[in-house]
Amino acid sequence: MRIGLISDTHIPEARYELWPQVFDAFRGVDCILHAGDIHDLVVIDQLHDIAPTWAARGNGEEGSGGRPVQPDHHRLRESWLLDLDGLKVGLTHDVPIPQYPPNLTLERALIRYFGTTELDVLIYGDTHVEAIDTIDGVLCVNPGSPTYPRNLDTQLGTIGFLEIDGGKADATIWQLTETGIEPFNWNKWRRPW
């Protein structure tokens, strides 16, 4: 199973619509998970035209920064707990990674959003910084932002993919380019933690 991962699109704030490279890259995936800060909910429908899509409600959909509060949408929730090819996959917008014990911990966030810590994979966003970590046995993936990477001005950013095969999950991050996508160069950026 191949799953497209995206977050923090900020449409139309970042640009009028998503880069066409995003839609091209996601053609053929089994589903798409959007980890919030969508802003214009038409993005969910555009992605759903490619593959079944679930989206997490981000602070941008809740009116932060003076943005309009977005209406309810049947593919949009604060969090989703999905069974994808036998794995428990959680999707939400904001979780404390890195952890700041004792108050801001991943365990507390998982219980709040999903009612359990028994996840195989967690997909999240908010930071606009791409990340793949394993914390307490949970594969945690932030695909970054395709439009505001690392909170910089509008430019080609990142998306991700989650591959599930034989009960195991693997994630990759991809850089959007003028002509498509290429593997993300982890050496170009130092992690903030």
Residue 72, pLDDT score: 83
Residue 79, pLDDT score: 96
Residue 133 lies in a domain: yes
Residue 39 lies in a domain: yes
What pTM was computed for the model?
A: 0.94
Q: What is the pLDDT along the chain (193 residues), one digit of tens a residue?
A: 999 999 999 999 999 999 999 999 999 999 999 999 998 899 999 999 999 999 999 887 776 777 777 778 899 999 999 999 999 999 999 998 888 888 888 999 999 999 999 999 999 999 999 999 999 999 999 999 999 999 889 999 999 999 999 999 999 999 999 999 999 988 876 655 5
Residue 125 lies in a domain: yes
Residue 182 lies in a domain: yes
Among positive and negative, which fits the CA dihedral 125, 131, 135, 139? positive
Residue 113 lies in a domain: yes
Residue 69 lies in a domain: yes
Which CATH number characterizes residue 25's domain?
A: 3.60.21.10
Per the listing, tokens 């993005």 go with 43
* Total number of domains constituting the chain: 1
Domain of 155, in residue numbers: 2-188
Residue of 136, 183, 131 whose CA lies nearest to 8 = 131
Contact 62, 83 (CB under 8 A): no
Residue 193 lies in a domain: no
| Beta-ladder partners of 173 | 160
Residue 17 lies in a domain: yes
